[in-house]
Structures are given as C-alpha cells and as structure tokens.
Amino acid sequence: RAKSAGRNRLVAFVPEMTLAAQRRAQLEAELRRAIEQEALLPYYQPQFDCRTGAMVGVEALLRWPHPERGFVSPAEFIPVAEDTGLIVELGRWVLRRACADLAAWDRAGAPPLTVAVNVSARQLKEPDFLGDVLAALHASGLAPGRLELELTESLLMDDVECAVAFMHAVRAAGVRLSIDDFGTGYSSLAYLQSFPINQLKVDRKFVQSLPVAGHTIATAVIALARGFGLAVVAEGVERQEQLDWLRAAGCDHAQGFLLGMPMPAAQLLATATAPRTAALT
C-alpha cells in the first residue's frame, strides 16, 4: 500500500518538477545570453550618515531588464547564477562596473562615496577572487578603502576557515567588509570576535517593525557593533519614524526607500551632487 502510494505521489509530482526544471533551464539560457550581451546593469542605492545627513556611500544592486518580463528580480536570477556558476563571471563584472562608476563620479565632482558590492559564496570559493577584486580596483584607480564587500552570515558559515582567510587577505589589501542581513542568518555571535569586519547591516526585517516591535533586536545589534568598534547601517528604512528611532539609537548610517531608491549610475551622480535629502535635515 505504502509502495503504491509512493508511486502515485511520484507520478503526481513529475510533471510539476519538469515544469520548474524547464523554467529554470530557460532562465539559465536567457541569463547566459544577457551576460554575454551585457544586458544586465548595476543600480545604486544611496546610504546616508544619520548624524550629518550627508550621502556617504552606495550599494550596487544588479538589475536585469528582460525584453518580455520587465525587470527580473535579483532574488530570482542570483540563485540561478549561483547554481550554474555564472555568478563568478557576473560578480567579476559587477565589481569592475561598480569601481569604474565610482571613479567616474569622483571625476565628475561627487563627494567621496564608498561603493558596496554583494558577494556570493560561490565567488569566495574561486581561487583568485581576491585577484579579481584587486584588478577591479586597479583598473579604476580607486583607493581600496572606497570599496566594501557585503558578505552574508550563511556565506561566512559555509566554510568558516576559507572565509576567515579571505577576510584577512581582503582587509590587508585595505578593502572594507560588512555583514549583510545581520541577525537573520546562522552565524554564532562568538564568530564576530574573529571576523575582521568593519560594519554590520541591520536586516530590513528588524527595521520594518520599528519603532514598536523591532527595537529590542535593533538596539542589541547597535550595541554589539559599538562594543566591537564596528559601524552599523540600517537597511530598508521606509518611514520617517523608523529613521528618527535609528538616529536616536545611535545608528551610524541608513539606507532605504525613504532616503533613496536604487537608481541608474547617471541618476545617482545627479543625486550625489544635489542638496541633501529632506528626511535627514
């Protein structure tokens, strides 16, 4: 009986799995083509100093304008890029673009921003990922301290030894490191002591429920960052009351739709050279 039920289940699931696999194969083929044709592009979301209101940096966020489906979300195509290994080439390209764009904004008279680039676990496993990072800096002429790599807790825990070795090498080169989505992953607090990082990013989940529900964790993350001498940035700030709470709590930097959407490079330059945002004045 169990056996036949199992067989039935198998039969019932096969068409669905095939459909998902087909869709994924199609997405993979389209992504491969899009990368070849350089159809993807980074958008940049500004980050602000909570005390002074000045724009201090940007985060590079990949966008894929698809001819039929509009903008495909990175939440959809980054996992495909990771599984297929395409993320290695794509990640290398984003690093170069982000550094080149920042250098161009410098030349155009923008204030000295930092640029944060998201890194996948798969990239960290590349034997010469550090070489890619240094090559992007070298090609753009940027000082290493202008570049920040965003690593997630799960990436760090995937192979802690490898990650720690990478982090020390990157820090020795002068590049900055931050932990993205902090508080949502599986890392142990004990590791924070041995991770040579510069910054924690409070996950949007905790910011979203401020000031009523998220404040216990947000307060704890800010205190943790203080204790370790790290900077802290809140992501996903959408409402003025969230920003007011974060400023009062001593959060260093803020990023979110309230302060600025992710935008194309040219628009970021215009924003960076314009008078500061009303929410922070």
Interface residue list for ligand C2E (CB under 6 A): 45, 60-62, 73-75, 78, 91, 94, 118-120, 150, 180-181, 204, 235-238, 256-257, 262
Nearer to Mg ion by C-beta: 181 or 252?
Answer: 181
Q: Exposed, middle or buried: residue 176 (CB in 10 Å: 0-12, 13-18, 19+)?
A: buried
- Which neighbouring-strand residues pair with 42? 62
> How many Å apart are CA 89 and CA 126, to the nearest integer?
11
Q: Which is nearer to ligand C2E, 228 or 257 (CB)?
A: 257
State which residue, 180 or 252, has the beta carbon closest to Mg ion. Answer: 180
The CA-atom distances, in angstroms, between 188 and each of 16, 45, 127, 156, 184 are 38, 29, 26, 10, 11
Determine, following the binding rule CB under 5 A, whether residue 153 of this chain makes contact with Mg ion.
Answer: no
* Partner from Mg ion, ligand C2E, none contacting 61, C-beta within 5 to 8 A by type: ligand C2E
**182-196 b/e (C-beta count within 10 Å ≥ 16 → b):** bbeeebeeeebeebe
Interaction between residue 148 and Mg ion (CB under 5 A): no
The phi, psi pair for 44, rounded to 5°, reads: -130, 125
Binding partner of 30, given Mg ion, ligand C2E, none, CB within 5-8 angstroms per partner class: none
Q: How far is the CB of 44 from Mg ion (least distance, A)?
A: 12
Encoded tokens for 58: 């940007």
**By CB under 5 A, residue 150 contacts Mg ion:** yes
Least distance to ligand C2E, CB of residue 100, Å: 14
Q: Tell me which of Mg ion, ligand C2E, none is bound by residue 170, counting a contact when its beta carbon lies within the kind-specific cut-off of 5 to 8 angstroms.
A: none
Query: In the complex, what is the shortest distance from the CB of residue 76 to ligand C2E, in angstroms, rounded to a whole number?
Result: 9
78 makes contact, choosing from ligand C2E, Mg ion, none, with CB < 5 to 8 Å by partner type, with ligand C2E
Q: Let me know if 208 is exposed, middle or buried by CB neighbors in 10 A (0-12, 13-18, 19+).
A: middle
Q: SS3 for 46?
A: strand
- Residue nearer to ligand C2E on the CB measure, 6 or 85: 85
CB of 9 to ligand C2E, least distance (A): 34
Say which entry of Mg ion, ligand C2E, none residue 73 contacts (CB below 5 to 8 A, set by partner kind).
ligand C2E
Q: Which residue from 30, 101, 148, 180 is in contact with Mg ion, where contact means CB under 5 A? A: 180
Cα 201 to Cα 66: distance, rounded to the nearest angstrom: 30
* Alpha-carbon distance values, 103 to 15, 48, 150, 209, 268 (Å): 50, 19, 20, 37, 13
Instruction: Point out which span in 64-72, 175-183, 217-225, 260-268 binds Mg ion (CB under 5 A).
Output: 175-183
- Counting residues that bind Mg ion (by CB under 5 A) gives 5
Task: Decide: helix, strand or coil at residue 234.
Answer: strand
Q: Does 118 bind Mg ion (CB under 5 A)?
A: yes
Q: Whole-number minimum distance, CB 65 to ligand C2E, in Å?
A: 13
